[in-house]
Structure 1
Amino acid sequence: MTTVYTITFVLLAVAGLLTLARALAGPTNLDRIVALDVLVILIVAGVTVEIGMRNEGWNIALVAVVALLGFLGSLTAARLVERRGTTR
């Protein structure tokens, strides 16, 4: 299982770097918002894999709260961009 966890962390890290590059180079604000939302999801996935690796379940509620806050943050930012009418 150590190999599976290592491969998972490497794939999550590569996805995180690609997402971070998209957030920095995104031509519009909506692209950046989506990239940051995906980055939050990747962080939550990494922490969840860490929980599974250590076989500890005491911080699952914390992971759920971070995922919910990430979703609400991206939703709020998207509504703000929609109301302003500008995407750049």
Structure 2
Amino acid sequence: MQYRSKPKIVEAEQFNENTYLHSEFLSELIVDKATFIDIYSTKCAADGRYHINADNGFVEIHNGLYIVRKISGEIVVKQAKYFESEYELVT
């Protein structure tokens, strides 16, 4: 037998370290290591400054990654090419 996955709507945003604080969704999930460790205050996303506590553990966040909250509440991080192949914008 063959199956088609059911349509699903998720909440998601693409991470950008210059704008994430303006996003209510991202700002509540992203942890800035500079808050706890002074050495990170001069670092950027490419240096591992940001992370998120996703359902599969702590994940370093870099510019361009999508943070997704599934219907179940599960938080996952996806590379842009995978996210864009699985989801489309709901208008």
Same-fold status (TM-score > 0.5): no
* Bigger RCO of structures 1 and 2 (CA < 8 A, at least 6 apart): 1
Q: Specify which structure has the higher proportion of helix.
A: 1
Give TM-score, length-normalised by structure 2: 0.22
